[in-house]
Amino acid sequence: MEMKKGSVRTAAIVGAGIGSLFIFSPMGKDIINRIKTMFQSSNQENLLVKAGNPDPEDIGDNNMVNEGAMYSVNYYNKNMDK
């Protein structure tokens, strides 16, 4: 079943309207505040501070950084072989 461009545009506008009503409702504001406090919580590490600076004792985080570094090296090597 094909949707015409007008119906897609209408669905997007209706979705944006419903989304904005939710965001500005008391329930939406409560969810947004919970997310903010989750990132600003003193008992959890701030992800933005930790990003790019793995703790040497955090093996899982170091492995993730290592895999990311190896991806770019492998990508470069594969393109150089072509």
Q: What is the pLDDT along the chain (82 residues), one digit of tens a residue?
A: 455 667 888 999 999 988 888 888 888 888 888 888 776 665 455 566 666 666 777 777 777 767 777 888 888 888 888 7
E strand map for 1-82: none
Residues 7 and 33 in one domain: yes
- In the chain, the number of structural domains is 2
pTM: 0.34
Whether residue 2 is found in the same domain as residue 30: yes
Is residue 77 domain-shared with residue 52, that is, in the same domain?
yes
Same domain, 39 and 56: no
Pairwise CA distance, residues 70 & 64, whole Å: 10
Q: Are residues 51 and 40 in the same domain?
A: no
- Residues 33, 60 within the same domain: no
- Do 57 and 37 share a structural domain? no
> Which residue range is the domain that position 62 belongs to?
47-82
